Amino acid sequence: MRRDETYLLDILIAARDAMSFVSDVTQAQFYASRLHQNAVVKALEIIGDAAARISDETRQAHPEIPWADITGMRNRLVHGYF
């Protein structure tokens, strides 16, 4: 469980980072900015990597969290499954 706490903290920090990267950016500005896009993608990669390492015990205790969707998004971003 201790290990899961570390991964969950990584997820929280990366999610907060992603939100801060776009907090003062309009949708049009975001689409025009490779810098903002890459920053958010990196945060999503971190979230997906950490989510993939969460134990089965924690995953089963929190079925309301779409673990497979989170890790799947990471795989699509990293490997370019568009």
Q: How far apart (Å, rounded) are the C-alpha atoms in residues 77 and 45? A: 7
Q: Is-contact 77 37, C-beta < 8 A?
A: no
The token duo for 52 is: 């993939």
Catalytic residue among 3, 16, 36, 74: 74
Mark whether 62 is an active-site residue: no
Residues designated as active site = 74, 79
